[in-house]
Amino acid sequence: MTTNTADTSMNIHEILKHLPHRYPFVLIDRVISMEVGKEITAIKNVTINEPFFPGHFPYHPVMPGVLIVEAMAQAAAILSFKTMGALPSEESVYYFAGIDSARFKKPVSPGDQIVFNVQIDRILKGIWKYNATAKVDGEVVAEASMMCILKSI
């Protein structure tokens, strides 16, 4: 496991190296800061052009809560890969193992910028546990505890 206390930002090109996801499922636009082995702060710029808005909901577009949680998990995956000093590969998949205490406090709409903060709670037997929050304009819009695991395929 890599330990580096320096803050690290990442642009979309670096993010794509650390996530196996591609359009339309990349939900992180930029990493603002990261303390490898500890926490990450990342953003998602929510636009009306998102592929889910025509169906959720046409007259009052709202970002689905499950996608907000997925974005938190993608931020967690970036942090985990950086912490492991590894990159995603075709031989493995980083899976959700559990989502606990998910709460949605306020809708997210086009024009919002979501700021995600994900902290590693613990790593035990290859299972990573995180605490995550999503904020818009400084207000919590969602929060969850998540577990993920890297599995060989």
Domain residues for the domain of 68 are: 12-152
Token pair belonging to 94? 């980083």
Tell me, what CATH number does 52's domain have?
3.10.129.10
Residue 7 belongs to some domain of the structure: no
pTM of this prediction? 0.94
55 SS3 class: helix
Residue 2 belongs to some domain of the structure: no
Domain count for the chain, please give it.
Answer: 1
Q: Could you tell me the mean pLDDT of each successive run of 10 residues in the chain, 153 residues long? A: 66 95 95 98 97 93 97 97 92 91 98 98 95 98 96 87
Residue 132 belongs to some domain of the structure: yes
Residue 81 belongs to some domain of the structure: yes
Cis status of the peptide bond prior to 110, with omega within 30 of 0: no
Angle among Cα 62, 64, 12 to the nearest 5 degrees reads: 95
The pLDDT of residue 4: 52
Residue 6 belongs to some domain of the structure: no
Token pair belonging to 107? 């809708």
* Cα–Cα distance measured from residue 29 to residue 32, given in angstroms and rounded to the nearest whole number: 10
The pLDDT of residue 8: 86
Residue 5 belongs to some domain of the structure: no
Q: Which residues are catalytic?
A: 56
* Cα–Cα distance measured from residue 106 to residue 33, given in angstroms and rounded to the nearest whole number: 25
Residue 83 belongs to some domain of the structure: yes
Nearest by Cα to 146 from 64, 29, 68, 43: 68
Residue 85 belongs to some domain of the structure: yes
